Amino acid sequence: MPAIESTRAATRWTTRIVPVALAVGVAYATYVVVARVCSSYLLRSLDDHGAATAILVLYFVFLLLMIITYARTLYNANFDPGVIPLGQRAIDRRREADARRKKRRYGEDDIEGRAYEAGPDSDPDSPGLESFYSRDAFVCEADGRPKWCSECCNWKQDRVHHSREIDRCVYRMDHYCPWAGGMIAENSFKFFVQFITYGALYCAVVLGASAYTLRRQIDQDASPDPYLLAAIVISAFFGLFSFLMTVTSMRYIFLNMTNVDILSIPHKVYHLAVRVPWGTREDGFSIIVYPLAKPETSQRDRKRDASVLRTNRRIAGEQQDAPTASSRDDLATRAFAILETNPGENPWDLGPWRNWQSVMGTNPLDWLLPIHHSPCANHENLESLYPMDRILDKLRSRYGLSAGPPSDESAVMEMRALRNR
């Protein structure tokens, strides 16, 4: 599996240099703690075996945990961050761009060298739509269709964002990390949090051991060891940085948000397509029916899109009974109300404890060791891609809809069959 690297040459070089710099820093800290603090001073000068043993045990325990979690973060951030496969139009576009680059090198002002924007796929049978309306709720645009990525030419699932750093859509994108040399997102965020936590504790041990030794040297009127002074400065800097990152990441976990989410949440309004029973009338909200109806006459671009959406809304207002199971599309036909959240409402908030479990897992051993991916990466929830039952209950109550999704066992079985195809 090829590494998913940044599209910027400067960033690629930075991400290759940073791990080397970290390795040099760890090697220096190991020399200071093991050779100068424990061996030369505590054991030889003071014959203090207890303090030396305690420092060495703590140092190597946190060093080992830091290395293990860093290795897992490094792998997932580079090879398995949780990217979305490219749409066919994006594949064709990039293949053509690669072919052009082989012929000649374009300048910034060459219009043929620029990426062009692709509008949403207006085909009612567009590949990927079934993965949305086979569930009971999903994030949508104001017209009821899922969000579209014009770069990847794909429908964007809930909590998917396009990263310009790697030029791909990513599940639960948080940030691009030069420490890990890759994207911190759904498949790597848990391991990243473990790494920075152990990194902060590791720096605390180095800082404590160095400061303790330096203080005793000063008390004995001995000349301060310059190696200790350098270790204190370096460990204090990286320790404070890691600690602040740990606190920030823990806050994101308990809120069930990412760095991308937190930047826009104060004023952001989400549109959610929520499944409703057949016969539900529009009352302060619009209704759309999936699969999208095909227009009677062939039209193009915006006219075709508008015709499709008008047809679906007309069907939603006129049809009262469930469709007959005469075809695959009939079995899959569903009505969705387009509901709006209030500004600042977080659809993904499940409460602090459930938020923690969705990222870190339910087993305390998973909290400490980089064993399994975050449970939220499994996408096993049947109602929506990510659980959002709290906001759905609020919205149904706010808009006067019946509590819970429509109970239709045959439809549930059909949707499961569709998703497994």
Query: Could you report the per-residue pLDDT of 55-79, keeping only the tens digit for each?
Result: 999 999 999 999 999 999 999 999 9
> Taking residues 327-348, what's their average pLDDT?
81
Residue with tokens 């424990």: 38
Give the predicted TM-score (pTM) of the model.
0.83
AA letter at 408: D
Q: Percent of the chain having pLDDT more than 70?
A: 82
Q: Are 308 and 297 in contact (CB under 8 A)?
A: no
Question: Quick one: pLDDT band at residue 118, thresholds 50, 70, 90?
Answer: low
* d(C-alpha 78, C-alpha 169), whole Å: 14
> Taking residues 331-345, what's their average pLDDT?
87
**Strand, coil or helix: 276:** strand
- pLDDT tens-digit series, residues 176-195: 998 888 999 999 999 999 99
Average pLDDT, rounded, for the chain: 83
> Taking residues 203-231, what's their average pLDDT?
91
Q: Are 146 and 138 in contact (CB under 8 A)?
A: yes
Strands in 254-356 per DSSP E: 271-276, 286-290, 334-340
Q: Are 344 and 266 in contact (CB under 8 A)?
A: yes
Task: Please check the confidence at residue 230 and state whether its pLDDT lies above 60.
Answer: yes
- pLDDT tens-digit series, residues 254-278: 999 999 999 888 889 999 999 998 8
Pick from 290, 332, 329: nearest CA to 138: 290
- pLDDT tens-digit series, residues 350-399: 999 999 999 999 999 999 999 999 999 998 888 899 999 999 999 999 99
Question: Quick one: pLDDT band at residue 410, thresholds 50, 70, 90?
Answer: very low
| pLDDT for res 326 | 43
| pLDDT for res 170 | 94
| pLDDT for res 314 | 54
Cross-strand bridge partners of residue 182: 177
| pLDDT for res 283 | 86
Which residues have CB under 8 Å from 274's CB, separation 6+? 136, 137, 336, 337, 339, 392, 395, 396, 401
Tell me whether the omega of the peptide bond preceding residue 291 falls within 30 degrees of 0, making it cis. Answer: yes
Q: Which DSSP letter does residue 378 get? A: G
Rg of the chain, C-alpha, whole Å: 27
* d(C-alpha 292, C-alpha 307), whole Å: 10
